[in-house]
Structure 1
Amino acid sequence: MTDESCVPDWEKRFRAPRVSLPEWAEDAPDRSLFVSNATGTFELYAWDRAAGTQRQVTDRPNGTTEGTLSPDGEWVWWFSDTDGDEFGVWMRQPFAGGEDVPGAPGLEPSYPAGLALGRDGTVVVGRSTDEHGTSVHVLRPRPADGPGGAGEPGEPGEPGEPVEIYRHRESAGVGGLSRDGSLLVIEHTEHGDAMHSALRVVRLDGTPVAELDDSAGGTKELGLECLGFSPAVGDSRLLVAHQRRGRWEPMLWDPLGGGTTELDFDLPGDVSAEWTPSGDALLVVHSYRARAEMYRYDLARQVLERLETPAGSVSSATARPDGSVEYLWSSAARPPQVRSTSGAVVLEPPGMRAPESVPVEDVWVEGPGGTVHALVQKPEGTGPFPTVFEVHGGPTWHDSDAFAAGPAAWVDHGYAVVRVNYRGSTGYGREWTDALRHRVGLIELEDIDAVRRWAVGSGLADPARLVLAGGSWGGYLTLLGLGTQPDVWAVGVAAVPVADYVTAYQDEMEALKALDRTLFGGTPEEVPERFRASSPLTYVERVTAPVYVSAGVNDPRCPIRQIDNYVDALERLGKTHEVYRYDAGHGSLVVEERIKQVRLEIGFAERYLPAASG
Structure 2
Amino acid sequence: MTETTDQHAGEPDETDVTDVTDVTDVTDESKQGADGTDFADAPAWQQRFRAPRVSLPEWAEEAPDRSLFVSNATGTFELYAWDRATGAQRQVTDRPNGTTDGTLSPDGRWIWWFADTDGDEFGVWMRQPFAGGADEPAVPGLDASYPAGLALGREGTVVVGRSTDEDGSTVHLLRPGAAEPVEIYRHRESAGVGDLSYDGSLIAIEHTEHGDAMHSAIRVLRAADASGAGGAVVAELDDTKGGTEELGLTVLGFAPVAGDTRLLVGHQRRGRWEPMLWDVATGTETDLRLDLPGDVSAEWFADGSGLLIVHGFEARSELWRYDIATGALVRVETPAGTVSSATARPDGTVEYLWSSAAQPPVVRSTDGSVVLDPPGPKAPPSVPVEDVWVEGPGGRVHALVQRPAEGEGPFPTVFEVHGGPAWHDSDAFASGPAAWLDHGYAVVRVNYRGSTGYGREWTDALKHRVGLIELEDIAAVREWAVASGLADPAKLVLAGGSWGGYLTLLGLGTQPDAWALGLAAVPVADYVTAYEDEMEALKALDRTLLGGSPEEVPERFAASSPLTYVDAVRAPVHITAGVNDPRCPIRQIDNYVDRLAARGAVHDVYRYDAGHGSLVVDERIKQVALDLDFAARHLGTPPACGPRKEVG
Shorter-chain TM-score tier: over 0.9
8 Å Cα contact 1:283-1:296 kept in structure 2: yes
Candidates 41, 58, 64, aligned match of 1:29: 64
8 Å Cα contact 1:43-1:57 kept in structure 2: yes
Paired letter, 1:413:
H
For 2:179, what is the secondary structure of its paired residue?
strand
Q: Take 1:164 and 1:4, find their aligned partners in 2: how far apart are those partners?
A: 51
1:296 is matched with 321
8 Å Cα contact 1:12-1:354 kept in structure 2: yes
Paired letter, 1:233:
A
Paired letter, 1:312:
G
Q: Take 1:218 and 1:481, find their aligned partners in 2: how far apart are those partners?
A: 35
1:212 is matched with 237
Equivalent pairs counted in the alignment come to 596
2:273 is matched with 248
Question: CA shift at 1:610, angstroms?
Answer: 5.6
- Map residues 311-326 of structure 1 onto 2, 5 A cutoff: 311-326=336-351
2:114 is matched with 79
- Map residues 564-603 of structure 1 onto 2, 5 A cutoff: 564-603=590-629
1:436 is matched with 462
User: Does 2:153 align with 1:118?
Assistant: yes
Question: CA shift at 1:233, angstroms?
Answer: 1.6
8 Å Cα contact 1:292-1:314 kept in structure 2: yes
For 1:160, what is the secondary structure of its paired residue?
coil
For 2:544, what is the secondary structure of its paired residue?
helix
Paired letter, 1:552:
G
Paired letter, 2:328:
V
Q: Take 1:17 and 1:327, find their aligned partners in 2: how far apart are those partners?
A: 18
Paired letter, 1:167:
R
2:184 is matched with 165
User: Does 2:75 align with 1:40?
Assistant: yes
8 Å Cα contact 1:38-1:350 kept in structure 2: no
Structure 1 residues 218 and 556, CA, compared in 2 at 3 Å: closer, same or farther?
farther
Which deviates more from structure 2 when the two are superposed, residues 210-219 or residues 442-451? 210-219
Unaligned runs of 5+ in 1: 143-158
Question: CA shift at 1:218, angstroms?
Answer: 7.8
Q: Deviations over 1:453-499 (max 9, x none)?
A: 00000000000100000000000000000000000000000000000
Q: Take 1:166 and 1:348, find their aligned partners in 2: how far apart are those partners?
A: 44
Q: Deviations over 1:274-323 (max 9, x none)?
A: 00000010000000000010000000011000011111110000000111
User: Does 2:262 align with 1:237?
Assistant: yes
1:505 is matched with 531
Question: CA shift at 1:162, angstroms?
Answer: 1.2
Q: Cα RMSD (Å) of the superposition? A: 1.0
2:448 is matched with 422
User: Does 2:172 align with 1:137?
Assistant: yes
Candidates 433, 436, 440, aligned match of 1:410: 436
- Map residues 274-289 of structure 1 onto 2, 5 A cutoff: 274-289=299-314
Question: CA shift at 1:515, angstroms?
Answer: 0.3
- Map residues 426-465 of structure 1 onto 2, 5 A cutoff: 426-465=452-491
Q: Take 2:49 and 2:397, find their aligned partners in 1: how far apart are those partners?
A: 30
Q: Take 1:484 and 1:536, find their aligned partners in 2: how far apart are those partners?
A: 8
User: Does 2:84 align with 1:49?
Assistant: yes
Question: CA shift at 1:611, angstroms?
Answer: 7.4
User: Does 2:582 align with 1:556?
Assistant: yes
Structure 1 residues 262 and 218, CA, compared in 2 at 3 Å: closer, same or farther?
closer
8 Å Cα contact 2:340-2:353 kept in structure 1: yes
Paired letter, 2:200:
G
8 Å Cα contact 2:249-2:266 kept in structure 1: yes
Q: Deviations over 1:12-35 (max 9, x none)?
A: 000000010000001000000000
Question: CA shift at 1:160, angstroms?
Answer: 2.4
1:337 is matched with 362
For 1:73, what is the secondary structure of its paired residue?
coil
For 2:45, what is the secondary structure of its paired residue?
helix
8 Å Cα contact 1:464-1:610 kept in structure 2: no
1:524 is matched with 550
Question: CA shift at 1:78, angstroms?
Answer: 0.2
8 Å Cα contact 1:324-1:340 kept in structure 2: yes
User: Does 2:514 align with 1:479?
Assistant: no
Paired letter, 1:87:
F
Question: CA shift at 1:2, angstroms?
Answer: 2.8
Paired letter, 2:114:
F
Candidates 208, 233, 239, aligned match of 1:189: 208
Question: CA shift at 1:122, angstroms?
Answer: 1.2
2:391 is matched with 366
1:152 is matched with none
Structure 1 residues 218 and 386, CA, compared in 2 at 3 Å: closer, same or farther?
farther
1:149 is matched with none
For 1:161, what is the secondary structure of its paired residue?
coil
Question: CA shift at 1:245, angstroms?
Answer: 0.2
2:22 is matched with none
2:252 is matched with 227
1:177 is matched with 196
Scaled by the length of structure 2, the TM-score of the pair is: 0.91
Paired letter, 1:595:
I
For 1:141, what is the secondary structure of its paired residue?
coil
Q: Take 1:248 and 1:216, find their aligned partners in 2: how far apart are those partners?
A: 18
1:305 is matched with 330
Question: CA shift at 1:4, angstroms?
Answer: 3.2
User: Does 2:113 align with 1:88?
Assistant: no
Identity %: 79
Question: CA shift at 1:350, angstroms?
Answer: 5.0
Q: Take 1:5 and 1:332, find their aligned partners in 2: how far apart are those partners?
A: 22
8 Å Cα contact 1:122-1:141 kept in structure 2: yes
8 Å Cα contact 1:17-1:350 kept in structure 2: no
Paired letter, 1:596:
K
1:354 is matched with 379
Question: CA shift at 1:217, angstroms?
Answer: 6.8
For 2:508, what is the secondary structure of its paired residue?
helix
Question: CA shift at 1:232, angstroms?
Answer: 1.2
For 2:74, what is the secondary structure of its paired residue?
coil
For 1:311, what is the secondary structure of its paired residue?
coil
User: Does 2:420 align with 1:385?
Assistant: no
Q: Take 2:468 and 2:555, find their aligned partners in 1: how far apart are those partners?
A: 13
Q: Take 1:171 and 1:50, find their aligned partners in 2: how far apart are those partners?
A: 41
Unaligned runs of 5+ in 2: 1-35, 224-229, 639-648
8 Å Cα contact 2:631-2:637 kept in structure 1: no
Paired letter, 1:116:
A
- Map residues 8-19 of structure 1 onto 2, 5 A cutoff: 8-19=43-54
Q: Take 1:583 and 1:84, find their aligned partners in 2: how far apart are those partners?
A: 8
Q: Take 1:15 and 1:196, find their aligned partners in 2: how far apart are those partners?
A: 38
For 1:234, what is the secondary structure of its paired residue?
coil
8 Å Cα contact 1:36-1:43 kept in structure 2: yes
